[in-house]
């Protein structure tokens, strides 16, 4: 499947027959998903199988765990990938009994399975045995029923308790000699970037334990997408996952999955516009990340956060010209984009060029002066919140968080879509894995994005007028063949943003699952923050750059 | 809110059907000062003083720094460079609800968050005002059909001004805030809404199947919110 001329360093070639031979009688069947070969295994062999896949076949990334309910069974699908070559994919399908959906947990093989399986338990109701902490993750603990199952009654009343938070180290805290305290941060807190709740156990000034509690913005995105038709009704929702203006990238994630599912071609011209739009979105998202991070570490509204928002305004202006909206673009269509570059084209291109050639370099200098070269800032950020490379892999981290820990991964280069493989740009990495390198990676990525945008503008300017095809022919109602399954990802502003769709023969998806990069990145927070001081916890959290809409979906 | 508790049986028949059903009657008591309560009637000097106070309130609103969802990004833009709502005397966000008199609700409210938002609202000192930002706070917006989405902020707290849009542009939000300031300065405000979803002690909730099921897991005294999705508007 690889489109690269040579296998990247560290990637392992995988032959599905060899995998089946090696797994022996753990395998009870085989299947073929659009993106990857799949093997079906027994629910009591999950740990062994995944260990073999990880250690012998080089699958060091568990991208996603998708749970589904069928009339006769439940299924968990483990989507495996290699960091070195994300086009080498494999799906491990684990069917379980409809009456007693129990399956072995993969949390001992991949850390990231912990949260993914909790989500699968929460929404679908599969019980993972030997899971370290199987409880609800998105919905309140008091919820009854599993909402994405077919027998769930949505009109049933629910009771949500405002319980007192228990101190995880309660036993140690009683009496005069108590040495830990529980600090509740959020869900309303200026530094949590929205509605995140952290249960922090402090030993003096040091963080002894931190447990992110999410779900305060669980807006049923998957249910909404399962209720919408492929052609038009789903596209508005992706804008609202990562709403830090990364909307076009999110839309592209859906477009890419659905186009592969329904075998739709996209004209080259539209791909160029998409690439340009996506990079503008990425810049806007990174500006926000920068602005809020500065707020987190400096404390008050200050010059740099204002500058970041000022630059964001400029990008938003360009995006508004292109799409008609400042934030919720709804601009991509399956098979292309909604409309062409606004007239007069020259003026639009002039604006973009003015931004990338003149304004951005100047404000990047400002950022470097005020922030990255600033000694106080460096004292604050260098060496805090370190995330080791191998740990990051275990948690399935992606995007700037992974790249700052020295993992050289970027789907734009490794699994190219759009026209990224025809352009000249670089993947930014850094080895330190601390707060400072995460910020630095983001700042440098903005520069790279500007480079990409600039090249796209050149291409668009020279595009012959009669070949400006913005959409291919797409049938009015799309009905992909039943039981086609696809998992496709794009490089979101925060990392690998993947969509799994199973078609059921109708014009709506049978199952729509979102793999959110923020969800995985946030699960690394305890690794970064434990043992650090509280202010460093805040800095670490800010440097992960989470958007709660995407964490909770 | 100083409105006294409505007896249990009444609350259950009133229900949540329309906004009208939730409006309280009579004059809004939010502007009443301690002084006025103590003196009882309204002598001339107090009336003048009230007028002055209203003008002061309207001209310097401290808003709560309260981000929920996508709309909060446009709220940030309204606060920062270019739009800068501070030009209108309402732009210094306070991180603590105890220092704020305006809460902008910028986003989708889901069942897990609603009790927390109620708690934040309750912590704000009187008089306090609410601007609902975006379709989500009006009706649940694009997510109205979600199993977990509260169908509008008014299910939980009273709202003075609704700013429609998904998301509203910063200009629209500023217009909403300015309108609120104008009304506050003139001493106008709509009567406070009766909230169908009170935070109640778990033990006081109407007994039914769901409560029975949870009875051994939740302490009688802990606060809880009950969601009757079927009755929501
Ligand atoms: S109204 Fe729209 S933009 Fe605002 S929070 Fe709701 S979905 Fe997001």
Q: Which pLDDT tens digit goes with each residue over A259-291? A: 888 888 888 889 999 999 999 999 999 998 888
Judge if the beta carbon of residue B70 lies within 6 A of ligand 1. yes
| Last residue in a domain, options A129, A158, A191 | A129
Q: Is A236 on the interface with B (CB under 8 A)?
A: yes
Closest residue in A to B97 (Cα) is: A188
Checking ipTM against 0.90, whether it exceeds it is no
Per run of 10 residues, the mean pLDDT along chain B (length 233 residues) is 42 44 54 62 66 80 85 86 81 82 88 84 82 88 86 82 87 88 77 59 77 79 76 62
> Which structural domain, as residue segments, surrounds residue A22?
16-129
| Last residue in a domain, options A65, A100, A129 | A129
CB A322 within 8 A of CB A277: yes
What radius of gyration do chain B's Cα atoms show?
19
Judge if the beta carbon of residue B73 lies within 6 A of ligand 1. no
Residue A330 has pLDDT above 80, yes or no: yes
> What pLDDT is recorded for position B38?
66
Q: Measure CA B168 to chain center.
A: 18
Examine the domain organization and report whether A238 and A114 are in the same domain. no
Chain A residues 125-154 with CB within 8 Å of chain B: 139-140, 142-144, 147, 152, 154
- The answer to whether residue A168 sits within a structural domain is no
Examine the domain organization and report whether A434 and A314 are in the same domain. yes
Task: Tell me which residue has its CA closest to atom 5 in ligand 1.
Answer: B107
The per-residue pLDDT of chain B, averaged, comes to: 75
- The answer to whether residue A197 sits within a structural domain is no
> What is this structure's pTM?
0.85
Task: Read off the tokens for B112.
Answer: 């897990």
Question: CA torsion sign, A279 to A552 to A197 to B154?
Answer: positive
Judge if the beta carbon of residue B132 lies within 6 A of ligand 1. no
For residue A147, list chain B residues with Cβ-Cβ distance below 8 A.
147-148
Q: Which pLDDT tens digit goes with each residue over A474-533? A: 888 888 888 888 898 898 888 889 999 988 888 888 889 999 898 889 888 888 888 888
Strands (E), A440-508: 485-491, 496-503
Residue A166 has pLDDT above 60, yes or no: no
Domains in chain A: how many in total? 2
Q: Which pLDDT tens digit goes with each residue over A170-186? A: 555 555 566 777 788 87
* DSSP-assigned letter for residue A489: E
CATH number of the structural domain spanning residue A283 = 1.10.645.10
Reference A133, options A540, A526, A547; nearest CA is A526
| Last residue in a domain, options A88, A111, A129 | A129
Q: Is B14 on the interface with A (CB under 8 A)?
A: no
Chain A residues 241-260 with CB within 8 Å of chain B: 243-245
Chain A residues 435-454 with CB within 8 Å of chain B: none
Examine the domain organization and report whether A122 and A225 are in the same domain. no
CB A528 within 8 A of CB A369: no
Q: Measure CA A19 to chain center.
A: 28
Residue A204, Cβ neighbours under 10 Å: how many? 11
Of A219, A240, A325, A550, the residue with max ligand 1 atoms within 8 A of its CB, to mutate for a pocket test, comes to: A240
pLDDT band, very low/low/confident/very high, at A5 (cuts 50, 70, 90): very low
Give B114→chain A minimum CA distance, Å: 9
Residues A481 and A503: their CA atoms lie apart, in Å, by 7
Q: Is B203 on the interface with A (CB under 8 A)?
A: no
Examine the domain organization and report whether A124 and A233 are in the same domain. no
Reference A324, options A277, A276, A272; nearest CA is A277
Atom of ligand 1 nearest to the CA of B167: 3
Percent of chain B scored above 70 by pLDDT?
Answer: 74
- The answer to whether residue A518 sits within a structural domain is yes
Helix (H) or strand (E) run with residue B175 in it:
helix B170-185
Considering CB atoms only, which of A161, A218, A240 is closest to B202?
A: A161
Percent of chain A scored above 90 by pLDDT?
Answer: 4
- A357-378 burial, b at 16+ Cβ within 10 Å, e below that, comes to eeebeebbeebeeebbeeeebe
- The answer to whether residue A156 sits within a structural domain is no
Reference B138, options B113, B161, B115, B172; nearest CA is B161
């Amino acid at each position: 499947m690889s489109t690269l001329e040579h296998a990247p360093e560290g990637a392992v070639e995988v032959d599905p027959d060899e995998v089946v031979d090696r797994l022996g009688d753990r395998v009870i069947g085989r299947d073929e998903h659009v993106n990857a070969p799949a093997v079906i295994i027994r629910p009591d062999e999950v740990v062994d199988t995944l260990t073999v896949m990880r250690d012998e076949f080089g699958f060091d990334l568990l991208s996603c765990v998708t749970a589904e309910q069928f009339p006769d069974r439940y299924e968990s699908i483990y989507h495996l990938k290699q960091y070195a070559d994300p086009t080498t994919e494999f799906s491990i399908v684990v069917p379980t009994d409809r009456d007693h959906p129990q399956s072995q947990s993969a949390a001992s093989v991949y850390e990231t399975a912990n949260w993914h399986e909790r989500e699968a338990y929460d929404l679908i109701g599969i019980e993972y045995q030997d899971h370290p902490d199987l409880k609800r993750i998105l919905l309140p603990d008091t919820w009854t029923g599993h909402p994405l199952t077919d027998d769930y009654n949505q009109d049933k009343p629910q009771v949500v308790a405002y319980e007192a938070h228990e101190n995880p180290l309660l036993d140690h805290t009683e009496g005069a000699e108590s040495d830990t305290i529980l600090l509740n941060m959020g869900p309303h807190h200026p530094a949590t970037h929205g509605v995140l709740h952290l249960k922090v156990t402090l030993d003096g000034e040091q963080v002894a334990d931190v447990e992110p509690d999410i779900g305060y913005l669980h807006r049923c995105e998957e249910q909404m997408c399962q209720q919408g038709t492929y052609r038009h009704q789903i596209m508005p929702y992706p804008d609202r996952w990562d709403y830090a203006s990364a909307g076009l990238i999110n839309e592209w994630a859906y477009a890419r999955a659905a186009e592969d599912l329904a075998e739709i071609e996209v004209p080259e011209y539209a791909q160029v516009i998409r690439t340009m739009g996506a990079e503008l979105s990425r810049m806007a998202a990174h500006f926000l990340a920068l602005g809020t991070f500065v707020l987190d570490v400096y404390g008050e509204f200050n010059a740099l956060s204002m500058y970041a928002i000022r630059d964001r305004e400029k990008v938003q202006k360009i995006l508004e010209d292109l799409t008609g909206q400042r934030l919720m673009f709804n601009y991509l269509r399956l098979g292309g984009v909604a409309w062409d570059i606004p007239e007069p084209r020259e003026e639009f291109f002039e604006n973009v060029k003015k931004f990338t050639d003149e304004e951005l370099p100047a404000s990047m200098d400002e950022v470097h002066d005020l922030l990255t070269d600033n000694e106080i800032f460096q004292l604050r950020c260098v060496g805090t919140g370190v995330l080791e490379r191998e740990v990051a892999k275990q948690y399935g981290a992606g995007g700037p968080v992974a790249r700052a820990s020295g993992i050289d991964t970027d789907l734009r280069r490794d699994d190219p879509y759009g026209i990224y493989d025809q352009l000249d740009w670089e993947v930014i990495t850094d080895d330190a894995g601390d707060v400072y390198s995460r910020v630095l990676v983001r700042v440098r990525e903005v520069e790279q994005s500007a480079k990409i945008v600039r090249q796209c503008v050149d291409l668009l300017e020279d595009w012959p007028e009669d070949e400006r095809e913005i959409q291919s022919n797409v049938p009015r109602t799309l009905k992909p063949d039943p039981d086609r399954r696809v998992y496709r990802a794009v490089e979101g502003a925060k990392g690998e943003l993947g969509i799994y769709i199973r078609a059921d023969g109708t014009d709506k998806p049978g199952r729509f699952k979102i793999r959110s990069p923020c969800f995985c990145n946030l699960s690394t927070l305890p690794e970064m923050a434990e043992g650090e001081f509280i202010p460093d916890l805040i800095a670490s959290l800010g440097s992960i750059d989470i958007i709660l809409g995407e964490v909770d979906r | 809110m100083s409105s006294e508790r409505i007896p249990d049986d009444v609350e259950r028949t009133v229900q949540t059907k329309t906004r009208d059903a939730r409006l309280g009657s009579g004059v809004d008591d939010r502007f009443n000062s301690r002084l006025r309560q103590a003196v009882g009637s309204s002598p001339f000097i107090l009336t003048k003083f009230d007028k002055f106070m209203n003008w002061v309130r309207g001209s310097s609103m401290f808003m709560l720094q309260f981000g929920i969802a996508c709309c909060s990004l446009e709220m940030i833009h309204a606060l920062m460079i270019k739009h800068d709502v501070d030009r209108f005397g309402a732009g210094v966000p306070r991180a603590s609800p105890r220092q704020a008199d305006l809460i902008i609700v910028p986003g989708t409210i889901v069942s897990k968050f609603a009790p927390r938002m109620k708690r934040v609202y309750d912590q704000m000192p009187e008089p306090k005002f609410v601007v609902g930002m975006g379709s989500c706070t009006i009706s649940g917006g694009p997510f109205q059909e979600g199993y977990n989405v509260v169908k509008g902020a008014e299910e939980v707290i009273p709202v003075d001004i609704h700013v429609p849009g998904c998301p509203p542009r910063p200009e629209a939000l500023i217009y909403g805030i300015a309108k609120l300031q104008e009304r506050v300065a003139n001493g106008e405000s709509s009567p406070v809404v009766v909230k169908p979803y009170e935070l109640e002690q778990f033990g006081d909730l109407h007994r039914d199947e769901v409560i029975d099921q949870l009875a051994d897991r939740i302490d009688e005294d802990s606060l809880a919110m009950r969601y009757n999705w079927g009755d929501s508007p």
